Structure 1
Amino acid sequence: MVSVLTLNFELATLQDLPRVVAIYNQSIPGRLATADLEPVSVASRQAWFAAFDPSRRPLWLMKENGNDVGWVGLEDFYGRPAYSHTAEISIYIDQHHHHEHFGQQALTYVFAQLPRLELQALVAFVFAHNQPSLGLFAKNGFAEWGLLPGVAELDGQRRSLAILGRRFD
């Protein structure tokens, strides 16, 4: 039997941005979760962070026993009013906490928040070679809504981007 640790979710504050960035930067060398090729700075992510709105598009820190083990955020999709009931979801887990089912807990938590946030659909952009993330989203009812073949180049290899989505209405 697998023991699953229970997480707490807290709205991220500007003081949390260095930790959010540190967790994000951990994902860059693996070439699975982001198209950034070099670490990003806290300063470069301030405008991005400021776009999160706790009442509409929150960014939550995932905490286990008071330690930040990841984050999950919802961002506007495509920036046009007709898409106001759709958000893009991003989940990043600290590298020391992979395979602890925190991604699943993040999705379960976010799904429970959707009525309050007036969201009817979520989209996720996932590299087509990122099997762990594809599996997590598929297990949670997401389907492939599109594929952008060979749109990214990572270390000399062209990589495709899957567009995953799920409706909640």
Structure 2
Amino acid sequence: MPSHIVTDDDDPITVQSREQWMADFDDTHPCWVVEEDGQIIGWCGLEYFYPHPAFDHSAEISIYIDRHHQNHGVGSALLDYVNVNITRKLPIKTVISYIYERNVPSQRLFQSAAYDKVGELPQISVVNHELRTIYVYCRHFNLH
């Protein structure tokens, strides 16, 4: 795997390996998909940030756009859609995104959507036998 790859999945993802992950999404922490010509080309999920009721108004955001559809505005449109849903109806105050230091396109995407870089976790993970740093981005919303 080339060193510029930013995913941390070592094994292929299967439906079975993601069943519990999908089951954890709900009305307050949903997952959306983007389709084009009947094919899913991207998704964005708001996962519970921490398993304690004090953090129920926080979410960790993950976004993925198929590599063939990157740099075409799909990520921006999806993130805008998510932010509008948070603003209008979801009981979420704080959204946190963890982005690898090498994933400059994702950093730019979140910065353009008013997420602030609030910290970094130096050499916190090992990907392809290399230590990697993660940047922490955050955005606050008004609760309803």
Q: Same fold (TM over 0.5)?
A: yes
Q: Distance in 2 between matches of 1:76 and 1:154?
A: 24
The equivalent residue for 1:79 is: 51
* Residue 30 to residue 104, structure 1, CA distance change in 2 (3 Å): farther
The equivalent residue for 1:14 is: none
Q: Distance in 2 between matches of 1:42 and 1:113?
A: 27
One-letter amino acid of the counterpart of residue 56, structure 2: S
Once the two structures are superposed, the pairs formed by residues 34-49 of structure 1 within 5 Å of their partners are: 34-49=7-22
CA contact (8 A) 2:34 2:43 kept: yes
The match for 1:159 among 132, 135, 144 is: 132
CA contact (8 A) 2:123 2:132 kept: yes
Q: Percent identity among equivalent residues?
A: 36
The count of aligned residue pairs is 141
Alignment deviations for residues 22-54 of structure 1 (CA, whole Å, 9 cap, x no partner) = xxxxxx87764432222122111111110011x
Pair 1:121 & 2:94 matched: yes
TM-score (norm 1): 0.76
Pair 1:104 & 2:76 matched: yes
Secondary structure, counterpart of 2:75 in structure 1: helix
Displacement of 1:136 in angstroms is: 0.7
CA contact (8 A) 2:4 2:102 kept: no
Q: Distance in 2 between matches of 1:153 and 1:124?
A: 18
The equivalent residue for 1:6 is: none
Deviates more, 1:63-72 or 1:76-85: 63-72
Pair 1:132 & 2:89 matched: no
The equivalent residue for 2:28 is: 56
TM-score (norm 2): 0.89
- RMSD between superposed Cα atoms in Å: 1.8
User: What runs of 5+ residues in structure 1 fail to find an aligned partner?
Assistant: 1-27
CA contact (8 A) 2:120 2:136 kept: yes
